[in-house]
């Protein structure tokens, strides 16, 4: 583990965003003392998503942020994608608790006060030193952050569902970390990865890749191997969200990633670590956030796929790419590699992109993560052109099949949905069936 009070960063090929890796995790005697004091302070109850954000701030994942934003930074981030000092930061970190009890407590607070943030079972998680109290305008936030106030957008809906009318800004210190359940042993904090990359493995460069809830597929592999031709290390971070129900159990997803890495990736150069983030992040700005998160984990390069953050139909097809045009490379401080959509070309007989394959669209099989999940749910093995053969049996075994979930979906509807997942018209006979 990296002792972040030592200034080792000068020797590394990367620096944390804003120049300093934030460490707000209290330990030892200091923590014991503050735990006692926390019980005497007024307390605000926060949900799991806020708890996760607190932990990300405290462990430096969101450096240079040391807490929740005051109004000036909050507005600057929404309007310009930057903190007031000019540092690139794409999404606001704001704290506007909901609930009558919390509202009553907030009314009694003033700037300069400290307040304990407690989880849903009333354990103290962090202490917030209040620097700012301001009215929280949800429409303003939704319109600036997502470009829409349509509540069908999950990010917009989360604002109205989760946020109150008054926001508190200020630095935090973490008292207790949340248990990551099945991922506890696999988790890595930035202080661990910097040490691993640049002290243990002596990498000269590391590429980060953040991926959603889908099994690792050949499209991901194409991007990773392209990077591994010239970059020493790969940090693969599957997003895990325990509160959200997935069709494939998380533990098996991680085992399945591990199996693919062990079998098809160069030994010692691929590091797997789950990443927990909150739902408040969405849209093209989320892609920029992910690049900065990778930077704070020590990555020199950010690998960004086409539909990086699962953005869907709200934005242009390449919105998660074009947003990077707003920033100069030196402002981001991480080399961003944007990849076109990866498909399987049946004439090239290999995964490819429009950059590398000259053939007509009719020869292409769309590699869709959602499609793969749908196939697994319906008890069908995805073709080997889409997902590696042996390791995929792990997510396959772990998937909750349609038939076993009290589903009344008739078989012909299942087939129809599956066909929609893979749009190609000239798939080799028997490949999908
Ligand atoms: Zn081709």
> What does the H/E/C string look like for the chain?
CCCCCCCCHHHCCCCCHHHCCCCCECCHHHHHHHHHHHCCCCEEECCHHHHHHHHHHHCCCCCCCCEECCHHHHHHHHHHCECCCCCECCCCCCCCCCCHHHHHHHHCCCCCCEEEEECCCCCEEEEEEEEEEEECCHHHHHHHHHCCCCCCCHHHHHHHHHCCCEEEEEEEEECCCCCCHHHCCCCCCHHHHHHHHHHHCCCCCEEEEEECCCCCCHHHHHHHHHHHCCCCEEEEEEECCCCCCCCECHHHHHHHHHHHHHHHCCCCCEEECCECCCCCCCCHHHHHHHHHHHHHCCCCEEEECCCCCCCHHHCCCCHHHHHHHHCCHHHHCCEEEECCCCEEECCCCEEECCCCCCCCHHHEEECCHHHHHHHHHCCCCCCCCCCCCCCCHHHHHHECCHHHHCCCCCHHHHHHHHHHHCCCCCCCCCCCC
CA of 355 to the centre of ligand 1 (A): 10
Is-cis flag, bond preceding 64, omega within 30? Answer: yes
More confident call, 284 vs 425: 284
pLDDT of 420 reads 59
Distance 386 CA to ligand 1 centre (A): 15
Least confident range of 23-37, 220-234, 270-284:
270-284
Tokens standing for 236?
Answer: 């693969």
Does residue 410 have a pLDDT over 60?
no
Instruction: Write down the pLDDT at residue 142.
Output: 86
Residue 412 has pLDDT above 70, yes or no: no
Instruction: Please tell me the distance between residue 351's alpha carbon and the centre of ligand 1 in angstroms.
Output: 8
Q: Cα of 323 to ligand 1 centre, how many Å?
A: 29
Give residue 257 CA to ligand 1 midpoint distance, Å. 27
Residue 172, pLDDT score: 98
3 CA distance to ligand 1 middle (Å): 49
Whose CA is closest to 372, among 344, 406, 407, 346?
344
Average pLDDT over residues 382-386: 86
Adjacent-strand bridge partners of 311: none
The answer, yes or no, to whether residue 196 has pLDDT greater than 90, is yes
Centre of ligand 1 from the C-alpha of residue 354, in Å: 8
Q: What is the CA(348)–ligand 1 centre distance, in A?
A: 4
Cα-flanking dihedrals φ and ψ of residue 210, to 5°?
-110, 130
Across 11-20, 137-146, 330-339, 395-404, least confident range: 395-404
Query: If you search the block for the tokens 């949340």, which residue do you land on?
Result: 178
Local confidence band at 379 (pLDDT 50, 70, 90 cut-offs): confident
Whether the predicted pLDDT of 182 surpasses 80: no
pLDDT of residue 322: 86
Q: Rounded CA gap, 167 and 69, in Å?
A: 9
Same CATH topology for 26-174 and 183-433: the answer is no
Count CA atoms closer than 13 A to 138's CA, side-chain side. 19
| Whether residue 425 has pLDDT greater than 60 | no
Q: How far is the CA of 306 from the centre of ligand 1 (A)?
A: 18
Residue 309: pLDDT above 70? no
Residues in Cβ contact with 407 at an 8 Å cutoff, skipping those fewer than 6 apart = none
Q: What is the pLDDT of residue 389?
A: 74
Residue for token pair 């981030």 = 77
Fold of 26-174: Sulfate adenylyltransferase (3.10.400)
CA distances from 167 to 69, 76, 138, 239, 282 (A): 9, 15, 11, 27, 20
CA distance 277 to 56: 8
Calculate how far, in angstroms, residue 365's C-alpha sits from the geometric centre of ligand 1. Answer: 10
Q: Mean pLDDT over residues 227-235, rounded?
A: 97
Average pLDDT, integer, range 277-297 = 82
Mean pLDDT taken over the chain: 85
Distance of CA 428 from the midpoint of ligand 1 (Å): 14
Give the pLDDT of residue 358: 97
pLDDT of residue 195: 95
Count CA atoms closer than 13 A to 339's CA, side-chain side: 23
**Beta strands 114-118; 43-45: pairing state:** parallel
Domain map of the chain by residue range? 26-174, 183-433
* Residue 388 to residue 252: CA distance in whole angstroms: 15
How close is the Cα of 230 to the center of ligand 1, in Å?
A: 24
Kindly give the distance from the C-alpha atom of residue 426 to the centroid of ligand 1, in angstroms, as a whole number.
13
**Average pLDDT estimate for 263-278:** 90
User: Is 183-433 in CATH node 3.40.50.620?
Assistant: yes
pLDDT at residue 429 tops 50: no
Q: Output the CA 310–ligand 1 centroid distance in Å.
A: 25
Mean pLDDT computed over 214-228: 91
Q: Per residue in 119-162, pLDDT tens?
A: 999 999 999 999 999 999 888 888 888 888 888 887 788 888 88
């Amino acid at each position: 583990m990296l002792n972040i009070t030592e200034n080792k960063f000068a020797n590394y090929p990367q620096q944390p965003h804003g120049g300093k890796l934030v460490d707000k995790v209290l330990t030892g005697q200091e923590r014991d003392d503050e735990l006692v004091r926390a019980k005497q302070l007024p307390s605000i109850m926060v949900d799991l998503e806020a708890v996760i954000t607190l932990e990300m701030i405290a462990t430096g994942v969101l450096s240079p942020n040391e807490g929740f934003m005051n109004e000036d930074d909050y507005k600057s981030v929404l309007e310009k994608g930057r903190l007031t000092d000019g540092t690139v930061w794409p999404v606001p970190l704001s704290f506007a608790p909901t609930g009558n009890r919390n509202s009553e407590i907030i009314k009694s607070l003033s700037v300069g006060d400290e307040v304990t943030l407690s989880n849903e079972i009333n354990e103290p998680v962090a202490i917030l030193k209040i620097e700012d109290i301001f009215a929280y305008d949800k429409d303003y936030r939704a319109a600036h952050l997502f470009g829409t106030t349509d509540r069908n957008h999950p990010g917009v809906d989360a604002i109205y569902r989760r946020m109150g009318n008054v926001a508190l800004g200020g630095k935090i210190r973490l008292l207790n970390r949340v248990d990551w359940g099945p991922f506890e042993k696999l988790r890595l904090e930035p202080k661990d990865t910097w040490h691993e990359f640049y002290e243990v493995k002596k990498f000269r460069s590391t590429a980060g890749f953040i991926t959603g809830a889908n099994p690792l597929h050949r499209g991901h592999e194409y991007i990773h191997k392209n990077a591994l031709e010239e970059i020493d290390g790969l940090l693969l971070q599957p997003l895990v969200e325990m509160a959200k129900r997935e069709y494939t159990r998380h533990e098996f997803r991680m085992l399945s990633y591990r199996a693919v890495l062990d079998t098809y990736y160069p030994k010692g150069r691929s590091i797997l670590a789950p990443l927990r983030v909150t739902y408040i992040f969405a849209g093209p700005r989320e892609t920029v956030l992910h690049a900065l998160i990778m930077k704070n984990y020590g990555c020199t390069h950010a690998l960004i796929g086409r539909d990086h953050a699962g953005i869907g139909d709200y934005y242009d097809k390449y919105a998660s790419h074009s947003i990077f045009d707003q920033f100069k490379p030196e402002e981001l401080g991480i080399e961003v590699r944007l990849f076109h959509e990866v498909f399987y070309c049946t004439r090239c007989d290999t995964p490819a992109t429009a950059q590398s394959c000259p053939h007509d669209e009719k020869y292409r099989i769309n590699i869709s993560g959602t499609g793969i999940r749908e196939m697994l749910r319906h008890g069908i093995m995805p073709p080997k052109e889409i997902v590696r053969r042996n390791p995929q049996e792990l997510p396959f075994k772990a998937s909750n099949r349609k038939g076993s979930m009290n589903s009344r979906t008739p078989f012909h509807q299942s087939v129809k949905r599956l066909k929609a997942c893979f749009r190609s018209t000239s798939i080799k006979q028997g490949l999908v069936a």
